[in-house]
Amino acid sequence: MTHNPEFEPGAGAVEELADLFHLLGDATRLRIVLACLAQPTAVGDIAASLVLSSSLVSHHLRLLRAARIVKAERQGKQVFYSAADAHISSLLANMFEHIAEPATGMDA
């Protein structure tokens, strides 16, 4: 691995990123985030599309919001959730591209 002195995150940043990956490592939370990518989506719609209870979806959304993975926007009495920013969408798109690549065995 090459050393890149321009990219040396501090211990706090490493811990924060590990927490982000831990949150996204839960399949239910990941499905919830993916449901919010295309457009802002209400809790009830997320729950219905994923066949989950609204209370479970709300619980996961609280965690995802605290980690700045999703953001909430109130419109009248409803709250709509979407990806917090383009970084989240890009990260997930890149990781899906990565897993779609054929395995090439051990790289030297």
Distance between CA atoms of residues 7 and 18, nearest Å: 16
**Main-chain dihedrals φ then ψ at residue 82, nearest 5 degrees:** -145, 170
Element (H, E) at 82: strand 78-83
Range of the domain at 32: 21-96
Q: How many CB atoms neighbour CB 26 within 10 A?
A: 13
pLDDT given at position 102: 86
Is residue 38 included in any domain, yes or no?
yes
Domains contained in the chain, number = 1
Residue 68's domain is classified under what CATH number?
A: 1.10.10.10
- End-to-end Cα spacing for the chain: 11
Is residue 33 included in any domain, yes or no?
yes
Is residue 87 included in any domain, yes or no?
yes
pLDDT given at position 5: 58
Is residue 81 included in any domain, yes or no?
yes
pLDDT block averages, 10 residues each, the chain of length 108? 66 90 96 96 97 98 96 95 95 94 71
pLDDT given at position 10: 86
Is residue 91 included in any domain, yes or no?
yes
Is residue 16 included in any domain, yes or no?
no
